[in-house]
């Protein structure tokens, strides 16, 4: 018997109060253990403390080359550009993101289900995992616009109905990430607190939020307190490296005014024990290509 929306208790309320609130996290960060995957006990401890973990050379330079070729093919394909899963930059009209890219591209489907990726997600989440969302972010040179500060979980909870903080994102760099071309920035440790944001979710919010997020972005006062408390880590690194980060990290990335693109593939794994319910802070759920309700485990069978 599914819990009725009216009777369920929301321990992470957001977009319901007139004032922002900072709540304590009520979920573990690491659900697995050192003997259930490639991460050592120290690496898991670091992930638990900071909310993220950088992995150098996760994939080979040859694989990076195949990703580049696939990115070029997709961005030049008019049917992909016209697809509702493709987000176009507001000013330059260049491709900003392509969602559900693991269903559009065999190349990206392969890496999304690769044991090097899925094995790490299973270890962090302590269960079988499925793909909640995948996207490629192009962030082209000169034109790639910013992603303002936000917690992914706040959106996935409010708009997709994700109950608990038991999801992990992996961002695999397809280009070199320099300090100056809009790399991922994370407030290390911010995942331990949850910012309940102000402002109701507009109807069909995703049609604008994926271009530039509005609802669910914290207020400047709270963000300033967070930056003062946690600092801002800038995740630079060579193409082929990756960052795994908790669903509730406060993160952002700046616009790219340099000639050097900052492209990544971004895959979100959710625990099969944390499947989506009705949205907690929106009138209706977002489309499947943004938030999957297919809990089929990723990566084939495992010995979990």
Kindly report each contact of residues 44-50 with a partner whose C-beta sits within 8 Å and lies 24 or more positions away, as own/partner: 44/123, 44/124, 47/124, 47/244, 47/246, 49/188, 49/189, 50/186, 50/188, 50/189, 50/233
Nearer Cβ to ligand 6CS (43/154): 154
Report the distance separating Cα 101 and Cα 294, nearest Å. Answer: 15
269 binds ligand 6CS, rule: CB under 6 A: no
15 binds ligand 6CS, rule: CB under 6 A: no
| Binding residue (CB under 5 A) for Fe ion from 63, 70, 152, 159 | 152
Q: Write down the least CB distance from residue 159 to Fe ion, Å.
A: 13
- CA distances, 71 to each of 97, 136, 143 (Å): 11, 8, 17
Nearer Cβ to ligand 6CS (86/213): 213
Residue 123 interacting entry, from ligand 6CS, Fe ion, none, C-beta within 5 to 8 Å by type:
none
- CA distances, 117 to each of 19, 101, 192 (Å): 39, 16, 24
Cβ atoms 186, 233 nearer than 8 A: yes
155 binds ligand 6CS, rule: CB under 6 A: yes
Pattern 110-139, ligand 6CS, x by CB under 6 A:
-----------------------x-x----
Report the distance separating Cα 198 and Cα 217, nearest Å. Answer: 9
147 binds ligand 6CS, rule: CB under 6 A: yes
Dihedral of the CA atoms 200, 166, 193, 151 (nearest 10)? -50
154 binds ligand 6CS, rule: CB under 6 A: no
Give the interface segment with Fe ion, choosing from 83-91, 145-153, 198-206, 223-231 (CB under 5 A). 145-153
Q: Write down the least CB distance from residue 62 to ligand 6CS, Å.
A: 27
| Binding residue (CB under 6 A) for ligand 6CS from 150, 157, 164, 191 | 150
Q: Write down the least CB distance from residue 3 to Fe ion, Å.
A: 28
**Residue 251: which of 188, 166, 172 has the closest Cα?**
188
Using CB under 6 A as the criterion, which residues of the chain lie in contact with ligand 6CS when the complex forms?
A: 133, 135, 147, 150, 152, 155, 209, 213, 290
């Amino acid at each position: 018997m599914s819990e009725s929306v009216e009777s369920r208790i929301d321990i992470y309320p957001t977009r319901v109060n007139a004032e922002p609130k900072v709540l304590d996290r009520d979920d573990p960060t690491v659900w697995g253990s050192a003997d259930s995957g490639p991460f050592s006990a120290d690496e898991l401890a670091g992930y638990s403390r900071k909310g993220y973990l950088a992995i150098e050379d996760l994939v080979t330079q040859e694989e990076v080359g195949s990703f580049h070729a696939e990115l070029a093919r997709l961005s030049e394909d008019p049917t992909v550009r016209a697809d509702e899963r493709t987000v176009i930059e507001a000013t330059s009209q260049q491709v900003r993101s392509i969602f559900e890219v693991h269903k559009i591209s065999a190349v990206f489907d392969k890496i999304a289900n690769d044991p090097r990726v899925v094995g790490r997600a299973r270890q962090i989440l302590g269960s079988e995992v499925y793909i909640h969302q995948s996207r490629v972010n192009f962030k082209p040179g000169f034109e790639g616009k910013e992603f303002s500060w936000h917690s992914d979980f706040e959106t996935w909870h409010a708009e997709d109905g994700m109950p608990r903080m038991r999801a992990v994102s992996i961002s695999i760099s397809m280009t070199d990430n320099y300090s100056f071309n809009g790399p991922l920035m994370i407030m290390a440790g911010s995942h331990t607190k949850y910012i309940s944001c102000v402002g109701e979710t507009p109807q069909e919010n995703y049609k604008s939020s994926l271009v530039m997020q509005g609802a669910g972005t914290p207020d400047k006062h709270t963000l300033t307190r967070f930056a003062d408390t946690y600092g801002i880590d800038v995740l630079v690194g060579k193409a082929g490296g990756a960052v795994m980060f908790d669903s509730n990290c406060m993160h952002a990335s700046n616009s790219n005014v340099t000639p050097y693109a900052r492209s990544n593939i971004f895959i979100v794994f959710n625990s099969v024990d944390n499947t989506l319910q009705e949205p907690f802070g929106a009138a209706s759920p977002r489309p499947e290509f943004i938030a999957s309700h297919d809990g089929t485990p990723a990566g084939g069978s495992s010995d979990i």
